[in-house]
Each structure stands twice: as structure tokens, then as C-alpha cells.
Amino acid sequence: MKNNLTKEELLLRNRLNEASFDFKEADWAALEQQLPNKSFWSKYGTALKGAAALVFITAVVYVLNEQNTTLEENPIPNKELVEKKNETSTELSNTLKLSPQKAAKELNENPKIENEKELISDENSTENSTKEENTSEALILESENINKDITSALKAKEITSHKEETLTKAIEPTDYSIDESESTNKNKIEFEEIRISKNRCVGNTINIEAMISGSLNSNTKFTIKVENLEFSDDALNWSSNNLKLSFKPERKGNYKVEVTEGTGPQKKVYHKEVIQIDDLEQTNFTYTDLSSPFEDHTVKFEANHSIGDNFSWLIEGKEYTSQNAQFMHEFNNSGVFDVTLIESFHNGCTSTVSKPVAVNRDFDPTIEKDFTPNGDGLNDDFMPEVFQLREEAFRMVIYSGTGNVLYQTNSVHKPWNGRLNNSGEMQNPGLYIWKATLTNEEGKEIPYTGWIRIKEL
């Protein structure tokens, strides 16, 4: 606000600033003694008037400043009002030169000042009312704007706070800490049991596994050691740097099994026991190549003892199991084959043996190839001799080169003599085909096929 005051107004403001009300307690007491004590007003009237004078002077200064502002906004002044203000300012200036008691009395007794006071008060009241209305509307509008700004600020703060919280959670390291007691229990290594296979016999592969619980790391070094207690032979000792060990003892006796961790003074023994390795009779087998036409290529096997609980025969890549020591197997053809026998015993031990087996063709009716049916008594007919030694049902058919049936018989005692049906025309020298069949009591048939040649007569 600009202070463009008139000379009179400036003079009045300076005088007011220079005024000094040096009231003492004794002055107020003297004034009170001079006043009548009949009523509240008479007792405190002077003090109230003095206070009113101060309020009035303050109001005049405020009005003058406000009016000056109004004059700046409205350049046409009210001449009458200015004159009255100047006159009032002069009278006020004179009044202020008096003592406090006289100043109060002068203000109260001067009707002109009182009238001016009322005039200025009415005008000031009107102006103040208008300004209050305008100010009220401005305050309401400003309040609404402030509320909007506060709401926006709160929302922005809330969003910022949420982002900061999210960012803090994202950056904040996750607490993966484990309860100390739980971690100790997890890291504690405990021996649970040791598993040793039951096949504790000479020549058997024995498997040992130590069961350890707890947290194992690369720095945890376990050892399983097996040593013979009767012989100081390194060949009878075994060790493994992990929790598993397989060994194959070649001597019977007592063996110490020990599971440890670490070495030297820090060595810790988790388990120790003694196991017994039994001696075991080596298994073996014999075989017979059968010669019967119905059992040709068939071999009969027999283990050298029958104390085993189970016998497994490995032949031509297949495994055949038998509950007794005897076993028969029919090969597809003749030849030499590798056969392995695995004999298992009640204590889990096994004994194994392998050997070659020769299989021959013992029944071969196609050996005879030529005959001369000329009646000289030498090789005059055709009948394979091997059939003549069999008692099974028999049947044979002779075919020409073109497939015609020349002869057929159901008896091994009726050979072919080279003629059609053994009574017709003699067949020319050359090759002829024969087919024979043997049938056993179970109805099983074995077919045979061959060729025969009639030589030049």
C-alpha cells in the first residue's frame, strides 16, 4: 500500500508518533480520588474514556490510510470531507499537546470532535462493510483454491509416498536369515545307519553305504575303510573317500568296517563293526548233448551240487532260471556256445562259473546221397538208416524233379527201389527229392528233407 498522504495527514501522523503518554500510578490514583464513587461508570469512566481515546486515534490513522488508498483508486476527492479531516486533525493535534487528564476531558467535552468521530465512524463502517463483503468473497474463493491445492498436494504426497515405499521394498534386501538354532540343527551331521549287503562270502562283491544326515559340503571328508583282522595284506584292505564302498574279498575271515570323518587328531569315528566273510564252495556244472531226433541240439545241464536256492543260466544273451540243479536247453543249431551258471544261496552269496558247450547234430538222415538200383544186391534201394533205428511213427515221400510223387511209404522197412511206386517203370538216373516226418507219442512232428541221386546203371 502506498503512503501518499497530504501534508496535514503527515503532520498528524508525526505528532501521533511523537506523543508520549507518561502515565504514572500516582496520576491514575489522583484522578480516581477526584471522581465521585457513586457508580461503576463514575468509578471507571475516566479510564474507559482514555482507552476510547486511544482506540479513536488508532481508528483515525487507519481510516486516513484507507481513505488515501481509496483516493488513489478514485481520483475525484470529496472536498468537504477533506476540509473536515484537516480541521479535525488540527484539533486533535492541539488536544494531544495537553496532559493526559486534560486530553481525555477535552475529547469528551468537545462536541465537534465527537460529531466528526461519529461521521468518520459511519463512513468507515460503510466502507468497511463493503470491503468486508469483497474480502469475504475473496477469502471464500481463495479458501476453495487453497483447499484444491491442499487436496492436490496430499494426493501428490500420497503417490510419492507410495512410490517411495514401493522403491524401498524393491531395494530393501530380503531377510533370508535362518533361526540360529534351526541352522545349527541343519548343519549338524548325524550318523543314522550303515547298510552292508548280505552276500558276505569269498568271491562276492559286497556293497557298503553309510547313511549320514545333515548339511554336507565339499569340505566334509568321509572315509569307509575295510581291513582284514587276520592278515597284514594290503590286498585285503579297501577304502573309499565317500559314503559308498564296494569290495570283493578273496579270503574268508573277520573284517573291520569303519566310517570316519577327517584325519589325524581331528578324526571322528561315526561307526565301527566287524563282519565275517565265509568261504564258499565254487559251483560247477556238467552237460550232455542229446542225440534223439526229437532232442537233437538239446543239451542237458546239471550243477555239481544242489545246495543253492536258485540257479540262473545265461545262454546266448538270455537268462533262464531254475529251482533245481538240472536244466535242459534246446539250441537252434549246432556249434559252440558260452554258458554261465550263477548259483545263489540263502545268505545272499552267489557262486559263478562259465564254460564253453559244444552242440552237435547227432541225427542226420541225409548222409546217404547215391544208390544204384541194378539188382546186384549192393546199394539197390534207398532208406536212411537212422529212421530204421526209430520207433516213432514214420512217413516218407519221393518226388521227381518236376514235383510228381513217385513213391510214398509209412514204414521204415519199405525202402524205395528206384521204380514208380516200387513196381512200375524204372526212373532215369538223376536227382530226386525226399521228405520224411517223425511223430512222437505226444504228437510232435519233426520234418526232414533231402535229396538222393540214381547213378548210371
Look at residues 209, 212, 203, 202 and name the one whose alpha carbon lies nearest to residue 224: 209
Q: Are 323 and 307 in contact (CB under 8 A)?
A: no
Shared domain for 193 and 249, answered yes or no, is yes
For residue 71, the one-letter residue type is: L
Query: Which of 229, 257, 277 is at the close of a domain?
Result: 277
The predicted structure's pLDDT at residue 116:
45
* pLDDT at 217 > cutoff 80: no
Shared domain for 402 and 377, answered yes or no, is yes
- Please report which confidence band the pLDDT of residue 177 belongs to, taking 50, 70 and 90 as the band edges: very low
Domain membership of residue 418 (yes or no) is yes
Place of cell 491442499: 150
Note the pLDDT tens digit of each residue in 313-331: 999 999 999 888 999 999 9
Shared domain for 93 and 122, answered yes or no, is yes
What secondary structure, in 3-state letters, does 272-327 show? EEEEEEECCCCCCEEEEECCCCCCCCEEEEEECCCCCCEEEEEECCEEEEECCCEE
Domain membership of residue 249 (yes or no) is yes
DSSP label at residue 422: G
| Dist. CA 42–CA 53, nearest whole Å | 17
Shared domain for 438 and 395, answered yes or no, is yes
The predicted structure's pLDDT at residue 331:
92
The answer for residues whose C-beta is within 8 angstroms of residue 227's C-beta and 6 or more apart is: 236, 237, 238, 255, 256
Shared domain for 265 and 202, answered yes or no, is yes
Write out the residue range of the structural domain in which residue 24 sits. 11-134
What percent of the chain is predicted at pLDDT more than 90? 29
- Please report which confidence band the pLDDT of residue 63 belongs to, taking 50, 70 and 90 as the band edges: low
Residue 412 sits in a domain whose CATH number is: 2.60.40
Task: Report pTM.
Answer: 0.46
Residue 356 region by backbone torsions, left for phi larger than 0, else alpha for psi between -120 and 50, else beta: beta
Residue 335 sits in a domain whose CATH number is: 2.60.40.10
Shared domain for 91 and 22, answered yes or no, is yes
Note the pLDDT tens digit of each residue in 331-350: 988 899 999 999 998 888 99
What percent of the chain is predicted at pLDDT more than 70? 61
Q: Sign of the CA dihedral 404, 406, 409, 413? A: negative
Shared domain for 221 and 115, answered yes or no, is no
Domain membership of residue 181 (yes or no) is no
- Please report which confidence band the pLDDT of residue 87 belongs to, taking 50, 70 and 90 as the band edges: low
Least confident of 4-8, 325-329, 442-446: 4-8
Q: How many structural domains is the chain composed of?
A: 4
Shared domain for 351 and 424, answered yes or no, is no
All 3 cell numbers of residue 80?
468537504
The predicted structure's pLDDT at residue 180:
46
Shared domain for 63 and 96, answered yes or no, is yes
Domain membership of residue 1 (yes or no) is no
Query: Which of 359, 389, 406 is at the close of a domain?
Result: 359
Mean pLDDT (whole number) for 155-167: 56
Domain membership of residue 139 (yes or no) is no
Query: Which of 359, 385, 408 is at the close of a domain?
Result: 359
Domain membership of residue 92 (yes or no) is yes
Note the pLDDT tens digit of each residue in 247-302: 999 899 999 999 998 888 888 898 999 999 998 888 999 999 987 777 778 999 99
Higher pLDDT, 187 or 450: 450
Shared domain for 23 and 127, answered yes or no, is yes
Domain membership of residue 171 (yes or no) is no
Shared domain for 109 and 23, answered yes or no, is yes
Domain membership of residue 424 (yes or no) is yes
Higher pLDDT, 44 or 8: 8
Note the pLDDT tens digit of each residue in 358-412: 998 777 777 667 889 988 888 889 988 878 878 788 999 999 988 999 999 999 8
Shared domain for 348 and 401, answered yes or no, is no
